[in-house]
Amino acid sequence: MIIIGELINASRKAVGTAIEAQDAAAIQKVAQDQDNAGADFIDVNAGIFVGKEPEYLKWLVETVQAVSDKPCAIDSPDPKAIETALAVHKGTPMINSISLEKDRYENLMPIVAGTDLKVIALCMSDEGMPETVDDRMKIADKLVNGLLKNNVKLENIYVDPLVQPMSVNNAFGMEFINTIEKIVTTFQGIHTACGLSNISYGLPARKFMNQTFMVMAIAKGLDGAIMNPLDKKMMANIIAAEALAGKDNFCMNYLKAFRAGMFDF
């Protein structure tokens, strides 16, 4: 599972404050914690700062990479902010995210075209939020083929089928999960990723539903997540689910996690 640590997001109050105060130590602590907990990418987002986003995003990349070898996921729809951050990034980052919304697609495609950047492809278009498997696949087809045509490698694409909340429509869980299955069988070698906490919007005990949903999605092929890697129970669920899905040879990761105390709560 590719884990994209989501905690360095300016819309989280403590992080927003740290960015504004240019408090490198506070940001570095969040970066290191996520790195140690098993994050593969450290997401950086400075979206709430209109006008200052390029400057802050660049600062976040430099600040995070001073203490972590993990690449960043550069989280912005603004091509200027992304390019500023890319200029200082070491290694191969992820772009979070392109979508089929016209502006976003046209702004981000030139940045990823012909590069080795990883890119999250979010199943959203100007026609609104997709609800069914078919809605999502129509968008995914156009997005993936557009990226391939622009010389982005299939294995660098992470399709996010867009999680919608169960509380308003009880089909939303399985429509998402069945899309994961269809994507991984249609485009073999592609990745999937999602921020899945939206599934439990409007319900209590959200962590419990999020964990269960993660396990169900992994069974159908989900192999990337934008999440909080410090959530120990979620991490344990992922490790067990990947073993059960046959993605963990001889259950070696599972055993390693056991010995590291990852199943002790």
Interstrand relation of 94-100 and 118-125 (parallel, antiparallel or unpaired): parallel
Element (H, E) at 226: strand 224-227
Whose Cβ is closer to other proteins: residue 37's or residue 48's? 48
CB proximity list for 229: less than 8 A, separation 6 or greater: 3, 5, 34, 37, 38, 39, 235
How far is residue 128's CA from residue 148's CA, in Å, rounded to a whole number? Answer: 24
Does 77 bind other proteins (CB under 8 A)? Our answer is yes
Give Rg (Cα) of the chain. Answer: 18
Q: Residue 24 Cβ, how far from other proteins at the closest point, in Å?
A: 23
Is residue 21 involved in binding other proteins (CB under 8 A)? no
Residues that contact other proteins, how many (by CB under 8 A):
20
- Cα(201)–Cα(209) distance, integer angstroms: 10
Task: State the nearest-atom distance from the C-beta of 72 to other proteins, in Å.
Answer: 19
Q: Candidates 46-54, 139-147, 231-239, 245-253: pick the segment binding other proteins (CB under 8 A).
A: 46-54
Q: Is 166 left (phi over 0), alpha (psi -120 to 50) or beta?
A: alpha
- As measured in angstroms, the least distance from the Cβ of 203 to other proteins is 6
**Residue of 29, 92, 126, 171 that binds other proteins (CB under 8 A):** 126
Q: Does 48 bind other proteins (CB under 8 A)?
A: yes
Sign, CA dihedral 3-7-9-11, equals positive
Helix (H/G/I), strand (E/B), else coil: 160: strand
Q: Which is nearer to other proteins, 11 or 145 (CB)?
A: 11
- Tell me if 110 contacts other proteins by CB under 8 A: no
For other proteins, the binding residue among 44, 82, 119, 124 (CB under 8 A) is 124
Give the amino acid at 250: F
Tokens 């990852």 appear where? 262
* Binding residue (CB under 8 A) for other proteins from 32, 37, 52, 165: 165
Considering only 14, 36, 202, 260, the residue that binds other proteins (CB under 8 A) is 202
With contacts defined by CB under 8 A, name the span among 35-43, 112-120, 174-182, 202-210 that binds other proteins: 202-210
Residues lying near other proteins in the complex (CB under 8 A): 11, 47-48, 50, 77-78, 101, 103, 124, 126, 128-129, 164-165, 167-168, 201-204
